[in-house]
Structure 1
Amino acid sequence: MTARPPLRRIALLDDFGDAARASADWSGLPVEVFTDHVTGPALAERLRGFDAVVLIRERSPFPAELAEALPDLRLVVTTGMRNRVLNMDACQARGIAVCGTPSSAAPTVELAWGLILGLARRIPAQENALRQGHWQAHPPGLELEGATLGVAGLGRIGVKVTAIALAFGMKVLAWSPNMTPERAAAAGAELAGKLDLFARSDIVSLHLGLGPSTRGIVGAAELAAMRPGALLVNTSRGALVDEAALLAALHEGRLGGAAIDVFEQEPLPADHPLLAAPNTLLTPHLGYVSARNFRAYFEGATACLRAWNAGAALPNPLNAAAGATTAQDPHA
């Protein structure tokens, strides 16, 4: 392979829990770990002089103007194989290599079911009441056996969520913009129209990618179609849901509750209105956050960084500058 100048400065961004250092062997790599979050001009200033950046999924947007502001940057490693807020075209145009890492869908599937169970059985509210001296202070929760789960999106996560629903004895409806009856049936679900899915489900769980056609795809009409007391769970993308419509449905008591792991603005500001909305179960984008998945992420990242320094082929290349032979779509 062609010799490359070794990396002099590597930035690892947004390591909120300071987990990266313990998840892989970084020895010999000149990495600087940032545990806070900055954006815009402050991020460009922070990254000035770095020749490699490691991104944790989609925590920091990496638009074209940021790539253009960093003339020393030669390599970007994103954890996972897709990052919708990383401008791949700008990186390729500037000759910046982009690599991904291995990842697992299992943590998001497990978190989705943790949220479903927590919301359906009112576990956080009951636990908080118990600590305050109250016994069975809230109304009974929803029993899953015999209930209907609506799954919006049957990708690798939605299919696994469906399998667990069937194990609970639930009926599963499935919908996505390109869903077919055969694909739904193969997963053990029944194809439904979008409004029909929202109207017939006791719980709706979102597992769609975000793009122009799906932004705001759950709006006032979909929320109004949901039966009284129904639950909405979103572990996919915050912008799939019209936030104003969701807040209205919650405050008006038309929804039984919403469990949300993903937000259009992350980290969530301390004054965000969802924090004060009733009947919510909120988590700080934990879907992919597990010890095993972080080991896969950061061992994959260090493998890419070491391959660069060794002049070897880069693992998991995502653009031609990194050695990919076919273009990758970070929004897929």
Structure 2
Amino acid sequence: MAGNEFDLINHYFKTQPVSRKDVALGIGDDAAVISVPENSQLVVTTDSLVAGNHFLADADPVKVAHKALASNLSDLAAMGAIPAWCSLALTLPSPDEAWLKGFCEGFYKLAEYYNVQLVGGDTTKGPLSITITMQGFIPEGKAIRRDGASAGDWLYVSGNLGDSAAGLDVILKGNQPSNELEETLLNRHYYSTPRVLAGQALREVASAALDISDGLVADLKHILKASGVSAVINADTLPLSDELIAFAGSKEKAAHIALCSGEEYELCFTVPESHRGALDAALAHTNTPVTCIGQIRHGEGLQVLWEEQPVDWKLSGWDHFSE
């Protein structure tokens, strides 16, 4: 692949729809040169997606690209940051131009929507994998962290939960979706909506936040540990789509899926009582639905209730495509 690397870079990655004024030097040199806005802090995240673990090797590259970039955008959204630049490292078994064309289609469509410029990266030969490092910025001292939750804060999530896991179940059947319901859920697995504007709006409202990548139960525990608190989730209040309930067969089964479903790229965040009245106003321009699902308490641990009664459900985190 080495003999084709520069041709591939020039053909597929040097021409892109986003050209930011703060990029002094982008693709084509040893490194990028970027100007960071005054009185801002740089926010950096890296995610890798590996064929056979995060996506199937024969998956549509358009969808894979969206999923890969969305996961990084969601990390920045959880911090309240403004995404701006990214680099991309692609490992490919061979220089597959049809795959690259589809990948670039999905990648650039989402990148253009959020005004993210690709400023560098690398291509090499090996098992199919995608690694993206994204950089953004945030006003100094305004990043939303995981360690700010306090007893009495209210617990919220954005969007609906559980559709991604149901979509993955459809994918793992090994066949094409058999009906419109399965097709909808499959697309929701790949085409998540990073809550970038919502994250920025939450800077002055939320006390702690993260994005849901490994499942609500698994991810929320990171906030609880970092903040030294516990929480109660009212599972019967979880936001569930009609499609998920139909797929699961009941609201209770759908809620179980929603508690464990990963790669949602929705936000989980806490809001102090004193800021709760400002939440709707803060999010009004973002078109982001949010739902209160519980409360932060003193102590340690996480309790899940269904209609005010503790559940004995087996709740685990996200395991992607692992056996």
Place the TM-score, normalised by the shorter chain, in its bin: under 0.3
Structure showing the higher strand proportion among its residues = 2
Compare CA radii of gyration and give the structure with the larger one.
Answer: 1
Instruction: Give the structure-2-normalised TM-score.
Output: 0.24
Instruction: Give the structure-1-normalised TM-score.
Output: 0.24
